[in-house]
Amino acid sequence: MNTYFINRPNLDRLARSLSKTYKVYVPVKSGEDRYYKKIGDEGLDDAVIGEIRPVQSIKSFFFPARTKVSDYFSEQIPEKKPRPVAIIGAKSCDLASLKVMDYVYMQDSFKDPFYIARRKEGLIISSDCTTYGESCFCVALGIMPYPTEDFDINLSEVGTGYVVEIGSDKGEKIIRDCSKLFQSADLYTEKKDEARKKLKKELEEHVKKSNIPSKDSIQARFRKKFDSELWDETVKTCVECGACNMICPACHCFILKDQKADKGFQRLRLWDSCLLMSFARVAGNANPRKLLAQRLRNRFDKKFNFFPDVIGKFGCTGCGRCTEACPGKIDIREVLSKL
Ligand code: SF4
Ligand code: SF4
């Protein structure tokens, strides 16, 4: 894989140049957290390229919380094409979630034109984590705290700039078109490798404290615990808010809603939550998962049993967001440790 080096002023120039074609988003800091913000005249002045994943995941760029899918119940797809999005600073855990999202929305029989258009036209410039958050546990699931695939370009912070790796033809073209901004990475690759190794080790030490079972045993352990007390115990503090689903980069369920518009009606696709009573309810009020404990178990079933079967990967990337968002203080690491 070809590698280069880009210093921070030149990365700023690259971002400004990309903003002529793309809506460019970067993580910025707010208190202790990071959020994606669209860059304007300030360029990358307040951008945080390293550190850890922002509060919101990148799924909202490809699968927004609310999408108009049709007017007047027409089969026509709304014409308006949004400007493509470039995300700078996406983290490894969020890239891993794209495997789940792509399976759900791009596979042969169920192609979603909205998702596919956004994915194909979008640009992902990912970056290595330079630290870890208290709730992070990606390494327990075999995901590194630095991107290894599914990016167009990756940035690894070293000193006053970044080692740049190309991950796709799209990324290669961008680097070719702006070649003056890049220089040889020879002086920096060793530092990059050392930084990665050090962070991985520190994160592994941190994750050890949670007693999460080895990744290869999680699915079998889940199956054994399917009919256990674990779910009744865990669900005691759940208030059925759905925050765990909304914040999760790999949760992808939606509901279609028809509503009155200025002229006639429109159909919307909205994020849905499998923790909510209404999620699986069908006509006649029948509900295969009436109990909250069944719905909580279903969430784990999908992530740690169903997805390993269908794509050979977990439907969880260890980002820790659900642990931070849960008002009931349900920590996914604790649930996994009890398996
Ligand atoms: S289940 Fe929780 S830790 Fe896993 S990817 Fe979703 S939000 Fe992150
Ligand atoms: S975030 Fe916590 S309280 Fe809310 S639905 Fe999920 S598990 Fe329940």
Beta strands 265-271 and 66-71: pairing type?
Answer: antiparallel
pLDDT value of position 77? 63
245 lines ligand 1 (CB under 6 A): no
How many whole angstroms separate alpha carbon 61 and alpha carbon 37? 12
Do 153 and 180 lie in one domain? The reply is: yes
* Ligand 2 nearest-atom number relative to CA 327: 3
Domain boundary among the residues 186, 208, 230 is at 208
pLDDT value of position 110? 83
Q: What CA–CA distances, in Å, run from 151 to 109, 132, 166, 219, 253?
A: 25, 20, 8, 28, 24
pLDDT digits 0-9 by tens, 79-97: 567 789 999 999 999 999 9
Specify if 264 maps to a domain.
Answer: no
Do 9 and 28 lie in one domain? The reply is: yes
In the chain, how many H helices and how many E strands?
Answer: 13, 11
Domain count across the chain: 2
Can you give the residue range of the structural domain that contains 289? Answer: 215-251+276-338
Do 182 and 54 lie in one domain? The reply is: yes
> Among the residues of the chain, which ranges form H helices?
8-18, 59-62, 92-106, 113-121, 169-177, 189-208, 215-225, 230-234, 243-247, 292-301, 307-311, 321-325, 332-338
Do 144 and 226 lie in one domain? The reply is: no
- HEC sequence for 157-198: EECCEEEEEECCHHHHHHHHHCHHHCEECCCCHHHHHHHHHH
User: 8 C-alpha to center of ligand 1: Å?
Assistant: 31
Look at ligand 1, atom 1, and give the residue with the nearest C-alpha. Answer: 316
Do 313 and 172 lie in one domain? The reply is: no
Specify if 174 maps to a domain.
Answer: yes
* Ligand 2 nearest-atom number relative to CA 328: 3
pLDDT digits 0-9 by tens, 207-249: 999 999 999 999 999 999 999 999 999 999 999 999 999 999 9
Domain boundary among the residues 208, 228, 259 is at 208
Do 229 and 202 lie in one domain? The reply is: no
Specify if 267 maps to a domain.
Answer: no
Q: Which ligand approaches the C-alpha of residue 236 most closely?
A: 2
Amino acid found at 280: A
Do 54 and 162 lie in one domain? The reply is: yes
Do 7 and 151 lie in one domain? The reply is: yes
Do 202 and 310 lie in one domain? The reply is: no
How many whole angstroms separate alpha carbon 157 and alpha carbon 159? 7
User: 181 C-alpha to center of ligand 1: Å?
Assistant: 36
Specify if 97 maps to a domain.
Answer: yes
pLDDT value of position 108? 75
Residues of the chain with pLDDT under 70: 1, 73-80
Amino acid found at 73: F
Specify if 236 maps to a domain.
Answer: yes
Do 171 and 309 lie in one domain? The reply is: no
Tokens at 181, concatenated: 């901004």
Specify if 302 maps to a domain.
Answer: yes
pLDDT value of position 204? 98
Tokens at 337, concatenated: 């440790």
The pTM (predicted TM-score) of the whole model is: 0.94
Do 167 and 30 lie in one domain? The reply is: yes
318 lines ligand 1 (CB under 6 A): yes
pLDDT value of position 105? 95
Specify if 202 maps to a domain.
Answer: yes
Q: Which of 231, 274, 275 to mutate to test the pocket of ligand 2 (most atoms within 8 A of CB)?
A: 275
Do 137 and 87 lie in one domain? The reply is: yes
Specify if 39 maps to a domain.
Answer: yes
The answer to whether 87 touches 242, Cβ cutoff 8 Å, is: no
Beta strands 161-166 and 183-184: pairing type?
Answer: unpaired
